Structure 1
Amino acid sequence: MVAVTPQDDSRLRYAWRVCSVTSLGLVLIGIAGSTLNVALPTVVRHFHAGALESGWILLSFLLVNTASLVFFGRVADLLGRREVYLAGFALFTLASLLAGLSPTVWFLVAMRVLQAVGAAMILANGTVIITDAFPPERLSQGMGVYIGTLSVAQLAGPTLGGLIAETAGWQWIFWVNVPAGLIALGWGTLILRRMPRRPREPVDALGNVLLFAALSALLLALSEAGSGGLSSPVVLTGAAVFALLLPLIVLAERRSANPVLDLRLFAGRLLTYANLASFCNALARSALILVMALYFQAARGLDAFEAGLSVLPVPLGIGLASPIVGMLGRKVSPYALSIGGAVLSATGLGTLMLTADPQTPYWVIGIGLFVAGCGSGTFLTGNTTQVMRALPQDSLGVVNGFRVMVMNIGIVISVGLSLSVLTSSVGPGLRAQVYAGTLSELSPVAVGQLMDGFQRAYAVLFTVAVAGALLAALARPQRAVASLDSTSR
């Protein structure tokens, strides 16, 4: 039995206080995003916004947030993670206040861009700050609690958004973030200690511009693919711009003395496969909630509130599994947890493949959703811990930014891909009824056609989840690989 010194005890107490700060930031951003998803129709009606403006209220945040994560990971490595993290809280809070005062829809879009920048500063550094604070043998516990807060946002956000929009007005969708943001900023200022900075080096301006432009083009094309089809001019243009910029990014980053995206960091087996596994898990996890919400409304005729309650087993599974797995992480390797979580996710989705029928008992569907949620919570905790443990301290910020960016891209693809597969079984005239959740009111024939689409969507998500499990298995720890190499010699 190893004796616990006063220094160890003091470090652990500080680590849990840090975890409370970073978890608060994750809940703040998660709730802010999920509440607007529910209240978007209310905002659209207020501004009499068209389809373009309505899409950009959500898309602007996702584009800017995803494309700037790596940049703020690098900035924090150079300028200080505490300073960038707290500045993110301040900017996010200010943008939320101004968003509620928006006189026009395009002013609101601009404030959403500022929110996205603040959120990127928070997301790119929260995991890094936790990794620095916790002793290596306790990191999985802290990561389990941190990731478990995702489920809090997913559980509270939709219900909170609907309630606020109906009772207080759409402005409070944004203003509710202000007191929470001020509390997070004050608590973080009080708790977080200054962290060592790397020597001042010039920022890779060209690399940042090219990376932002390429990701924006890619995400715009992916978001349009679900509604406009692969032949849409927006999709074709975005894909062409991305394909053109990709080799330019590689060339610019190889020549840069301080690249924003150091390609050498992703040459290792562990990081490559772990990030690809994370991408697959994000794609399957995010699309699952969307597909099931449409299933309960379009096929079973439930309203939005009832559908929201019906998909709760997913965030409940994530919320229960993450802290439990965090405690198991002291005895079980993150590598094993990643594989186990990915297999659980695939098992849950495989169960749902058998339920594409409006007459399926809910308890069967609920079990599939809960198992898939437990799998995601287990995988996220293990995968994140595995990646963060394997990195040198001076690269944590940029690599974590890349890791979150990869997950965000998976989320974007999941929306376009799942909607395209789901609605491929019905004609163009019925697709609006699917999105509106009113197809069940038309005819049993239309619902039967839609069931074929759900079957295909579940099959795609199951295939993606299986691919994630295989990739997680390939992400063998570097130490183990090194020991095998030395043995073979």
Structure 2
Amino acid sequence: MVAVTPETGTSMRYAWRVCSVTSLGLVLIGIAGSTLNVALPTVVRHFHADATQSGWILLAFLLVNTASLVFFGRIADLLGRREVYLAGFALFTVASLLAGLSPNVWFLVGMRVVQAIGSAMILANGTVIITDAFPPERLSQGMGVYIGTLSVAQLAGPTLGGLIAETAGWQWIFWVNVPAGLIALGWGAVILRKMPKRPKEPVDALGNVLVFAALSAVLLAVNEAGSGGLTSPVVLAGAALFVLLVPLIMLAERRAPNPVLDLRLFGGRLLAYANLASFCNALARSALILVVALYFQAARGLDAFSAGLSVLPVPVGIGLASPIAGLLGPRVSPYGLSIGGAVMSALGLGTLMLTADPATPYWVTGIALFVAGCGSGTFLTGNTTQVMAALPSGSLGVVNGFRVMIMNVGIVISVGLSLSVVTSSVGPALRAQVYAGTLSTLSPVAVGQLMDGFQRAYAVLFAVALTGAVLAALARSQRAPASLDSTSR
């Protein structure tokens, strides 16, 4: 039992205010993503976008966001987390305003890139700011609330996205972020304290360029493989460039005085397996709302608003499980929460795989989605607490950037892989109709073929979720490397 003193009471009040700021940031990013997932067919129809353009509306954000997370984690370690975090809010808000003014689809893709940079500045620092604010024995509670707010965004996002798409127009899918961004920027400027400046150190420019290039190459190759095949020139060139850059990154980072990726931080058992488990969980869960919303529109002919309501069990599950998992922190280890959550996620996806049929009653699908959501909420709370509590304080920014980057790689692969598996069952001529959500009006035969694609997509995600459960079981706790402890204080 920890004694409560006036000092600890003041500290906890500040910690919860910090949690409100970072949670608001997570809500902003989560709503921006989940509204577009449901409303994508509306945007596609407005711009008359083809299948390639449709995919890039989603993937441009994910690619740039993923490839720049480690960079902004390191920049925040050196220049100040508060400053970088607030700058991210400002950039994301401006980009959202301009996205709604897009004259064509490629301008929209460009604004999604700018949004991605602002999002990376927010995501690379939110978890670190919370970890700094909360004492170790209360960290799981703060993390549970923080992760749980993601479900608030995902809860409101699909319904809000569908409602906006059907009533206000596609522009408001982006403009709704503007007032939220301004509120987050103002509240953060008031609440967040300035962090003591660390001694100025040179930024690892070469390492940042090499890491960004390697991630971009491999993610572009993975995305192109679904539509162009493994022999596509883009796939071959991206894979070759990645293979070439990996040893160069390792050599450059070993020689750099302040490496963007300190390879010593990722050699331990906990970080290796916990990050791999996080990757699998992200891959298994991330495309779920997108795929299910697409299913209800393309296969069942529902409008965007109804499809948004249909996927609500996922964020409801995350929203209920995350704070409960946080409250269980003093009784159940983060390690146990990670394993339990990963198993629940696999159970939900396995049920969806076995019941992928238009005749399946919605209550069956809803329960499966709810179980998958509960599993993700439990896993995210346990896994994040497990990783952040084991790290030396001086490396929190770069390691959290790496952790979120690994999750985002899973998200990018999940979106690209799932969409490719689903649409491959209907052939190139009908893929645009799937993205536009109009396939159900064309042919019952085509809908039947599409259902085969959904079942295969769920099977792949189920297998990945099971792998994540095994990796979570291997991620046993250990102390941070002593050589790093001594240099991080």
Quick check: TM above 0.5? yes
CA drift of 1:53 comes to 5.1
Please, which moves more after superposition, 239-248 or 443-452? 443-452
Alignment of 1:309-388 (within 5 A): 309-388=309-388
CA drift of 1:356 comes to 2.2
Partner of 2:406: 406
Alignment of 1:244-283 (within 5 A): 244-283=244-283
CA drift of 1:399 comes to 0.5
Taking structure 1 as reference, are residues 347 and 52 closer, same or farther at Cα in structure 2, changes over 3 Å only?
closer
CA–CA separation in structure 1 for the residues paired with 2:256 and 2:166: 52
Cα shift readout 1:326-376 (whole Å, capped 9, x = no counterpart)? 111122110110011001111112222321222222222211111111000
CA drift of 1:11 comes to 0.9
Is this contact kept in 1: 2:291–2:418, CA < 8 A? Answer: yes
Partner of 1:118: 118
Partner of 2:68: 68
Partner of 1:209: 209
Partner of 1:19: 19
Please, which moves more after superposition, 467-476 or 350-359? 350-359
Partner of 2:285: 285
Which residue identity is paired with 1:136?
P
1:146 aligns with 2:135: no
CA drift of 1:218 comes to 1.6
Is this contact kept in 1: 2:272–2:475, CA < 8 A? Answer: yes
Partner of 2:470: 470
CA–CA separation in structure 2 for the residues paired with 1:456 and 1:48: 28
Structure 1 gap ranges (5+):
483-489
Which residue identity is paired with 2:393?
Q
Is this contact kept in 2: 1:47–1:104, CA < 8 A? Answer: yes
Partner of 2:390: 390
Taking structure 1 as reference, are residues 436 and 96 closer, same or farther at Cα in structure 2, changes over 3 Å only?
closer
CA–CA separation in structure 1 for the residues paired with 2:463 and 2:327: 30
Is this contact kept in 2: 1:297–1:437, CA < 8 A? Answer: yes
Taking structure 1 as reference, are residues 38 and 423 closer, same or farther at Cα in structure 2, changes over 3 Å only?
closer
Please, which moves more after superposition, 263-272 or 218-227? 218-227
CA–CA separation in structure 1 for the residues paired with 2:473 and 2:334: 11
CA–CA separation in structure 1 for the residues paired with 2:182 and 2:457: 42
Cα shift readout 1:378-415 (whole Å, capped 9, x = no counterpart)? 00000000000000000000010011111111011112
CA drift of 1:305 comes to 2.6
Is this contact kept in 1: 2:162–2:306, CA < 8 A? Answer: no
Which residue identity is paired with 1:183?
I
Taking structure 1 as reference, are residues 11 and 448 closer, same or farther at Cα in structure 2, changes over 3 Å only?
same
Taking structure 1 as reference, are residues 434 and 56 closer, same or farther at Cα in structure 2, changes over 3 Å only?
closer
Taking structure 1 as reference, are residues 344 and 481 closer, same or farther at Cα in structure 2, changes over 3 Å only?
farther
CA–CA separation in structure 2 for the residues paired with 1:176 and 1:374: 27
Alignment of 1:131-210 (within 5 A): 131-210=131-210
The alignment partner of 2:380 has SS state of: helix
Taking structure 1 as reference, are residues 378 and 155 closer, same or farther at Cα in structure 2, changes over 3 Å only?
same
Is this contact kept in 1: 2:60–2:112, CA < 8 A? Answer: yes
Taking structure 1 as reference, are residues 395 and 2 closer, same or farther at Cα in structure 2, changes over 3 Å only?
closer
Is this contact kept in 2: 1:341–1:379, CA < 8 A? Answer: yes
Please, which moves more after superposition, 291-300 or 275-284? 291-300
CA–CA separation in structure 2 for the residues paired with 1:319 and 1:145: 9
CA drift of 1:146 comes to 0.7
Percent identity over the alignment is 87
Taking structure 1 as reference, are residues 354 and 88 closer, same or farther at Cα in structure 2, changes over 3 Å only?
same
Is this contact kept in 2: 1:72–1:121, CA < 8 A? Answer: yes
Question: Could you say what the CA RMSD is over the residues aligned between the two structures, in angstroms?
Answer: 2.4
CA drift of 1:160 comes to 2.1
CA–CA separation in structure 1 for the residues paired with 2:110 and 2:452: 40
Partner of 2:79: 79
The alignment partner of 1:193 has SS state of: coil
Is this contact kept in 2: 1:270–1:475, CA < 8 A? Answer: yes
CA–CA separation in structure 2 for the residues paired with 1:102 and 1:434: 23
Please, which moves more after superposition, 169-178 or 234-243? 169-178
CA–CA separation in structure 1 for the residues paired with 2:168 and 2:411: 30
Is this contact kept in 1: 2:44–2:435, CA < 8 A? Answer: no
Please, which moves more after superposition, 5-14 or 92-101? 92-101
Partner of 1:128: 128
CA–CA separation in structure 1 for the residues paired with 2:80 and 2:92: 18
Partner of 1:486: none
Is this contact kept in 1: 2:162–2:304, CA < 8 A? Answer: no
CA–CA separation in structure 2 for the residues paired with 1:452 and 1:167: 33
CA–CA separation in structure 2 for the residues paired with 1:457 and 1:105: 28
CA drift of 1:39 comes to 4.2
Partner of 2:487: none
The alignment partner of 2:287 has SS state of: helix
Is this contact kept in 1: 2:41–2:436, CA < 8 A? Answer: no
CA drift of 1:447 comes to 4.1
Taking structure 1 as reference, are residues 430 and 89 closer, same or farther at Cα in structure 2, changes over 3 Å only?
closer
The alignment partner of 1:478 has SS state of: coil
CA drift of 1:224 comes to 2.3
CA–CA separation in structure 2 for the residues paired with 1:224 and 1:63: 13
Taking structure 1 as reference, are residues 49 and 374 closer, same or farther at Cα in structure 2, changes over 3 Å only?
closer
Cα shift readout 1:47-104 (whole Å, capped 9, x = no counterpart)? 5666655544433322221111000100111111111111111222222333344455
CA drift of 1:159 comes to 2.6
Is this contact kept in 2: 1:335–1:386, CA < 8 A? Answer: yes
CA–CA separation in structure 1 for the residues paired with 2:231 and 2:126: 39
TM-score by length of 2: 0.92
CA–CA separation in structure 2 for the residues paired with 1:162 and 1:145: 26
Is this contact kept in 2: 1:198–1:394, CA < 8 A? Answer: no
The alignment partner of 1:67 has SS state of: helix
Partner of 2:6: 6
Structure 2 gap ranges (5+):
483-489
CA–CA separation in structure 2 for the residues paired with 1:375 and 1:176: 29
Taking structure 1 as reference, are residues 106 and 260 closer, same or farther at Cα in structure 2, changes over 3 Å only?
same
Please, which moves more after superposition, 5-14 or 393-402? 5-14
CA drift of 1:289 comes to 2.3
Cα shift readout 1:111-134 (whole Å, capped 9, x = no counterpart)? 332222111111000000000101
CA–CA separation in structure 1 for the residues paired with 2:453 and 2:42: 29
Which residue identity is paired with 1:135?
P
Please, which moves more after superposition, 192-201 or 288-297? 288-297
